[in-house]
Structure 1
Amino acid sequence: SIPQDWLVTPPPDSTPDVTSFLETGGLLNVREIEITNTSVDVLLERLASAEWTTVEVTTAFSRRAIVGHQLVNCLTEKFVDRALARAAELDGHLKTGKVVGPLHGLPISLKDQLCIEGVEIIMGKQ
Protein backbone atom coordinates (compact mmCIF):
# COMPACT_ATOMS: atom_id res chain seq x y z
CA SER A 1 0.00 0.00 0.00
CA ILE A 2 3.05 2.28 -0.18
CA PRO A 3 3.07 4.49 -3.29
CA GLN A 4 5.80 3.34 -5.68
CA ASP A 5 7.50 6.74 -5.74
CA TRP A 6 7.76 6.65 -1.92
CA LEU A 7 9.78 3.43 -1.82
CA VAL A 8 13.35 3.74 -0.59
CA THR A 9 16.40 1.54 -0.64
CA PRO A 10 17.16 1.19 3.05
CA PRO A 11 20.69 1.15 4.39
CA PRO A 12 22.30 -2.25 5.01
CA ASP A 13 20.97 -4.27 7.95
CA SER A 14 24.34 -3.76 9.60
CA THR A 15 23.58 -0.04 10.06
CA PRO A 16 22.69 0.19 13.77
CA ASP A 17 21.27 3.73 13.73
CA VAL A 18 18.92 4.64 10.89
CA THR A 19 17.61 7.93 12.34
CA SER A 20 19.65 10.11 10.00
CA PHE A 21 18.34 8.15 6.99
CA LEU A 22 14.98 9.88 7.36
CA GLU A 23 16.62 13.11 6.27
CA THR A 24 19.42 11.79 4.09
CA GLY A 25 17.74 8.88 2.31
CA GLY A 26 16.66 11.02 -0.60
CA LEU A 27 12.87 10.77 -0.38
CA LEU A 28 12.17 13.93 1.62
CA ASN A 29 12.95 17.27 0.04
CA VAL A 30 14.31 20.25 1.97
CA ARG A 31 10.85 21.71 2.55
CA GLU A 32 9.47 18.41 3.88
CA ILE A 33 12.42 18.08 6.25
CA GLU A 34 11.78 21.63 7.47
CA ILE A 35 8.07 20.93 7.98
CA THR A 36 8.60 17.66 9.84
CA ASN A 37 11.24 19.22 12.10
CA THR A 38 9.06 22.20 13.03
CA SER A 39 7.52 22.44 16.49
CA VAL A 40 3.77 21.95 16.85
CA ASP A 41 3.09 25.56 17.85
CA VAL A 42 4.87 26.89 14.76
CA LEU A 43 3.21 24.27 12.54
CA LEU A 44 -0.22 25.35 13.76
CA GLU A 45 0.60 29.03 13.13
CA ARG A 46 1.78 28.30 9.60
CA LEU A 47 -1.24 26.13 8.88
CA ALA A 48 -3.69 28.73 10.24
CA SER A 49 -2.03 31.50 8.23
CA ALA A 50 -1.98 29.31 5.09
CA GLU A 51 1.79 29.77 4.85
CA TRP A 52 1.84 25.98 4.57
CA THR A 53 -1.13 24.04 3.23
CA THR A 54 -2.57 21.12 5.12
CA VAL A 55 -1.94 18.93 2.07
CA GLU A 56 1.72 19.96 2.04
CA VAL A 57 2.15 19.28 5.77
CA THR A 58 0.24 15.99 5.62
CA THR A 59 2.28 14.83 2.64
CA ALA A 60 5.54 15.68 4.41
CA PHE A 61 4.60 13.79 7.56
CA SER A 62 3.16 10.88 5.59
CA ARG A 63 6.30 10.52 3.53
CA ARG A 64 8.47 10.66 6.64
CA ALA A 65 6.31 8.03 8.36
CA ILE A 66 6.45 5.78 5.29
CA VAL A 67 10.25 6.04 5.16
CA GLY A 68 10.39 5.20 8.87
CA HIS A 69 8.08 2.25 8.32
CA GLN A 70 10.29 0.88 5.56
CA LEU A 71 13.24 1.03 7.94
CA VAL A 72 11.74 -0.35 11.15
CA ASN A 73 8.25 -1.70 10.30
CA CYS A 74 6.52 0.65 12.77
CA LEU A 75 3.05 1.05 11.21
CA THR A 76 0.12 -1.34 11.32
CA GLU A 77 -2.16 0.68 9.03
CA LYS A 78 -1.45 3.50 6.59
CA PHE A 79 -4.16 6.05 5.82
CA VAL A 80 -2.30 8.31 3.41
CA ASP A 81 -5.22 8.60 0.96
CA ARG A 82 -7.71 9.37 3.74
CA ALA A 83 -5.32 11.85 5.33
CA LEU A 84 -4.72 13.70 2.07
CA ALA A 85 -8.44 13.82 1.29
CA ARG A 86 -9.15 15.33 4.71
CA ALA A 87 -6.22 17.73 4.29
CA ALA A 88 -7.71 18.98 1.01
CA GLU A 89 -11.06 19.52 2.76
CA LEU A 90 -9.33 21.54 5.49
CA ASP A 91 -7.45 23.64 2.93
CA GLY A 92 -10.76 24.38 1.24
CA HIS A 93 -12.34 25.36 4.54
CA LEU A 94 -9.44 27.67 5.40
CA LYS A 95 -10.38 29.78 2.38
CA THR A 96 -13.32 30.99 4.51
CA GLY A 97 -10.71 32.58 6.80
CA LYS A 98 -11.44 30.22 9.68
CA VAL A 99 -9.66 27.17 11.00
CA VAL A 100 -11.47 23.99 12.01
CA GLY A 101 -10.52 23.89 15.69
CA PRO A 102 -7.27 24.59 17.49
CA LEU A 103 -5.38 21.69 15.86
CA HIS A 104 -6.50 22.51 12.32
CA GLY A 105 -4.46 20.45 9.86
CA LEU A 106 -2.07 18.90 12.37
CA PRO A 107 -1.29 15.33 11.29
CA ILE A 108 -1.62 12.78 14.09
CA SER A 109 -0.97 9.13 14.64
CA LEU A 110 -3.53 6.87 16.29
CA LYS A 111 -2.93 3.75 18.35
CA ASP A 112 -4.62 0.77 16.78
CA GLN A 113 -6.92 0.33 19.77
CA LEU A 114 -9.00 3.34 18.73
CA CYS A 115 -12.06 2.47 16.72
CA ILE A 116 -12.12 3.74 13.14
CA GLU A 117 -15.03 2.64 11.00
CA GLY A 118 -14.10 -0.19 8.64
CA VAL A 119 -10.61 -0.66 10.05
CA GLU A 120 -9.39 -3.64 12.02
CA ILE A 121 -8.03 -2.92 15.45
CA ILE A 122 -6.11 -5.23 17.76
CA MET A 123 -9.35 -6.04 19.57
CA GLY A 124 -11.27 -6.95 16.39
CA LYS A 125 -12.95 -5.20 13.46
CA GLN A 126 -15.32 -2.27 14.11
Structure 2
Amino acid sequence: MTLELRITLLVVSLLTLVFITRKVRDAKVRLEDSIFWFCIAGLLLLVSIFPGIFFFLSDVAGTYSTVNFVFLFFIFILLIQCFTLNMRISQVDTKLKELTQQLAIEKFERYQNDRERAVSATGTDVDDAGKP
Protein backbone atom coordinates (compact mmCIF):
# COMPACT_ATOMS: atom_id res chain seq x y z
CA MET A 1 0.00 0.00 0.00
CA THR A 2 1.46 3.32 -1.03
CA LEU A 3 2.13 6.09 1.45
CA GLU A 4 -0.33 8.39 -0.36
CA LEU A 5 -3.12 5.83 -0.03
CA ARG A 6 -2.36 5.31 3.65
CA ILE A 7 -2.47 9.06 4.29
CA THR A 8 -5.72 9.33 2.32
CA LEU A 9 -7.29 6.52 4.35
CA LEU A 10 -6.12 8.12 7.57
CA VAL A 11 -7.59 11.52 6.65
CA VAL A 12 -10.86 10.01 5.39
CA SER A 13 -11.31 7.91 8.53
CA LEU A 14 -10.64 10.90 10.79
CA LEU A 15 -13.04 13.07 8.78
CA THR A 16 -15.68 10.34 9.00
CA LEU A 17 -15.26 10.17 12.77
CA VAL A 18 -15.63 13.96 13.05
CA PHE A 19 -18.64 14.00 10.71
CA ILE A 20 -20.48 11.23 12.57
CA THR A 21 -19.67 12.78 15.95
CA ARG A 22 -21.17 16.09 14.80
CA LYS A 23 -24.30 14.41 13.47
CA VAL A 24 -24.80 12.55 16.75
CA ARG A 25 -24.23 15.71 18.77
CA ASP A 26 -26.75 17.62 16.62
CA ALA A 27 -29.24 14.74 17.09
CA LYS A 28 -29.42 14.12 13.33
CA VAL A 29 -28.38 10.48 13.73
CA ARG A 30 -29.34 8.07 16.47
CA LEU A 31 -26.47 6.78 18.54
CA GLU A 32 -27.38 3.18 17.68
CA ASP A 33 -27.08 3.93 13.96
CA SER A 34 -23.83 5.79 14.35
CA ILE A 35 -22.10 2.84 16.02
CA PHE A 36 -21.86 1.12 12.63
CA TRP A 37 -20.21 4.16 11.07
CA PHE A 38 -17.84 4.60 14.01
CA CYS A 39 -16.77 0.97 13.53
CA ILE A 40 -16.21 1.48 9.79
CA ALA A 41 -14.18 4.64 10.43
CA GLY A 42 -12.17 2.84 13.11
CA LEU A 43 -11.54 -0.04 10.74
CA LEU A 44 -10.30 2.35 8.06
CA LEU A 45 -8.09 4.03 10.62
CA LEU A 46 -6.68 0.67 11.71
CA VAL A 47 -6.01 -0.41 8.12
CA SER A 48 -4.36 2.90 7.27
CA ILE A 49 -2.00 2.52 10.22
CA PHE A 50 -1.42 -1.24 9.81
CA PRO A 51 -1.94 -2.08 6.11
CA GLY A 52 -0.61 -5.61 6.57
CA ILE A 53 -3.90 -6.66 8.20
CA PHE A 54 -5.71 -7.01 4.88
CA PHE A 55 -2.72 -8.79 3.33
CA PHE A 56 -2.77 -11.32 6.17
CA LEU A 57 -6.56 -11.76 6.07
CA SER A 58 -6.42 -12.15 2.30
CA ASP A 59 -3.92 -14.97 2.65
CA VAL A 60 -6.02 -16.63 5.35
CA ALA A 61 -9.19 -16.37 3.25
CA GLY A 62 -7.37 -17.70 0.19
CA THR A 63 -8.26 -14.89 -2.21
CA TYR A 64 -6.04 -14.33 -5.22
CA SER A 65 -5.51 -10.67 -4.54
CA THR A 66 -5.84 -8.41 -1.55
CA VAL A 67 -8.10 -6.05 -3.47
CA ASN A 68 -10.61 -8.85 -4.04
CA PHE A 69 -10.62 -9.58 -0.31
CA VAL A 70 -11.15 -5.89 0.55
CA PHE A 71 -14.11 -5.69 -1.84
CA LEU A 72 -15.53 -8.96 -0.53
CA PHE A 73 -15.10 -7.81 3.08
CA PHE A 74 -16.80 -4.45 2.62
CA ILE A 75 -19.59 -5.90 0.48
CA PHE A 76 -20.25 -8.39 3.27
CA ILE A 77 -20.30 -5.61 5.88
CA LEU A 78 -22.70 -3.54 3.76
CA LEU A 79 -24.98 -6.56 3.23
CA ILE A 80 -25.17 -7.01 6.98
CA GLN A 81 -26.06 -3.32 7.33
CA CYS A 82 -28.77 -3.64 4.65
CA PHE A 83 -30.23 -6.67 6.41
CA THR A 84 -30.27 -4.81 9.73
CA LEU A 85 -32.00 -1.82 8.14
CA ASN A 86 -34.54 -4.11 6.45
CA MET A 87 -35.35 -5.67 9.83
CA ARG A 88 -35.86 -2.23 11.34
CA ILE A 89 -38.06 -1.15 8.40
CA SER A 90 -40.18 -4.28 8.81
CA GLN A 91 -40.61 -3.60 12.53
CA VAL A 92 -41.55 0.03 11.89
CA ASP A 93 -43.98 -1.03 9.16
CA THR A 94 -45.67 -3.47 11.54
CA LYS A 95 -45.91 -0.83 14.28
CA LEU A 96 -47.31 1.68 11.79
CA LYS A 97 -49.97 -0.78 10.67
CA GLU A 98 -50.93 -1.53 14.28
CA LEU A 99 -51.12 2.16 15.17
CA THR A 100 -53.22 2.89 12.09
CA GLN A 101 -55.63 0.11 13.01
CA GLN A 102 -55.80 1.32 16.61
CA LEU A 103 -56.49 4.88 15.46
CA ALA A 104 -59.24 3.68 13.12
CA ILE A 105 -60.87 1.73 15.96
CA GLU A 106 -60.70 4.75 18.29
CA LYS A 107 -62.23 7.02 15.63
CA PHE A 108 -65.00 4.49 15.01
CA GLU A 109 -65.71 4.21 18.74
CA ARG A 110 -65.77 8.00 19.07
CA TYR A 111 -68.18 8.18 16.13
CA GLN A 112 -70.40 5.53 17.73
CA ASN A 113 -70.38 7.35 21.08
CA ASP A 114 -71.27 10.68 19.43
CA ARG A 115 -74.06 9.01 17.55
CA GLU A 116 -75.43 7.37 20.71
CA ARG A 117 -75.36 10.72 22.52
CA ALA A 118 -77.25 12.34 19.64
CA VAL A 119 -79.86 9.59 19.72
CA SER A 120 -80.30 9.84 23.48
CA ALA A 121 -80.49 13.66 23.35
CA THR A 122 -83.04 13.86 20.53
CA GLY A 123 -84.78 10.56 20.98
CA THR A 124 -84.51 9.83 17.27
CA ASP A 125 -81.81 8.20 15.19
CA VAL A 126 -79.69 10.68 13.27
CA ASP A 127 -78.16 9.63 9.94
CA ASP A 128 -74.81 10.80 8.62
CA ALA A 129 -76.35 13.92 7.05
CA GLY A 130 -77.70 14.99 10.44
CA LYS A 131 -81.34 14.42 9.44
CA PRO A 132 -83.74 12.34 11.64
* TM-score w.r.t. length of structure 1: 0.29
Q: Which has the larger radius of gyration?
A: 2
* TM-score w.r.t. length of structure 2: 0.28
Could you say which structure has the greater relative contact order, defined with CA pairs below 8 angstroms and 6 or more residues apart?
1
